[in-house]
Amino acid sequence: MTRDDPHGAVKALTFDVFGTLVDWRESIARGAREMLVPRGFERDWHFFADRWRLRYQPALEKVRRGVRPWTRLDDLHRENLLAVLKEFQIDGLEETTIGELNRAWHRLDPWPDVVEGLGRLKRKYILAALSNGNVGLMVNLARHAGLPWDMILGAELAGTYKPQPEVYDRAAALLDLAPGQCMMVAAHAEDLQAARRRGFRTAFVPRPEEWGPKPARATPEGSDFDVKAVNFYELAARLGC
């Protein structure tokens, strides 16, 4: 029991992954550069990463609205990759190269405070990924980045994408916990607000560098989360770990 979990009610912490735990922008830029420069392409690889990522929410939205059936994030990433390669006038790649480049999302590096912070939190809490990434992607990413999950939950187990309510509901049900025994941890207010509407407690850990040196989006008004912490060291301390 701590100031931020005053009744000791929280049993599990559920985590957003892309942006909150791992630095997709640097990792994707590096992966693309390492694969495509030797093939003769010189581009702004951070811009390439940004453009690939910007196609993420529109692709998810079609699944959320039922315009297209459940499709795994690996497959959406691949469709978006083909579009962004075209946009950057990168052509002639072999299928195996495209597949390998798409798997750069399985090899994202964690922010520097994440692995130690999760290790501390795991002593006291159940730790679960609650991501839009499919299970296979999350398994590979956890092994690459050293994320010590007790369980991988998320979109694929619910058949739709965050912030749809089913994703949070299914996560709590699979853990056999009441929503109020779960605390969502994310760098994105929309994710936390959606979790809170399903009864989760919430912890906000901003990642101002997620999109690089550009100014971060301001936290929307009304985002009075249960915990705010500047990084995972502080999160662990605030939760008594």
List interacting residues with its own copies (CB under 8 A). 72, 74, 126, 134-137, 139, 142-143, 149-152, 156-157, 174-177
Tell me the closest approach of the beta carbon of residue 107 to its own copies, in angstroms: 15
Of 94 and 176, nearer to its own copies (C-beta) is: 176
Q: Which CB atom, from 74 or from 109, has the smaller least distance to its own copies?
A: 74
Query: Whose Cβ is closer to its own copies: residue 19's or residue 154's?
Result: 154
Amino acid at 239: L
Q: How many angstroms separate the CA atoms of 16 and 133, rounded?
A: 10
Can you tell me the distance from the alpha carbon of 72 to that of 52, in angstroms, rounded to the nearest whole number? 16
CA distance 115 to 110: 7
Q: Which is nearer to its own copies, 91 or 176 (CB)?
A: 176
Diameter of the chain measured on Cα atoms: 59
DSSP-based three-state secondary structure for 51? helix
**Closest listed residue to residue 153, CA positions, set 11, 10, 15, 9:** 15
Q: Which is nearer to its own copies, 126 or 187 (CB)?
A: 126
**1 or 174: whose CB is closer to its own copies?**
174
> DSSP letters of 161-216?
-TTSHHHHHHHHHHHT--GGGEEEEES-HHHHHHHHHTT-EEEE---TTTTTTSPP
CB of 171 to its own copies, least distance (A): 10
> Do 18 and 24 meet the contact criterion of CB atoms below 8 Å apart?
yes
Do residues 236 and 219 make contact, with C-beta atoms less than 8 angstroms apart? no
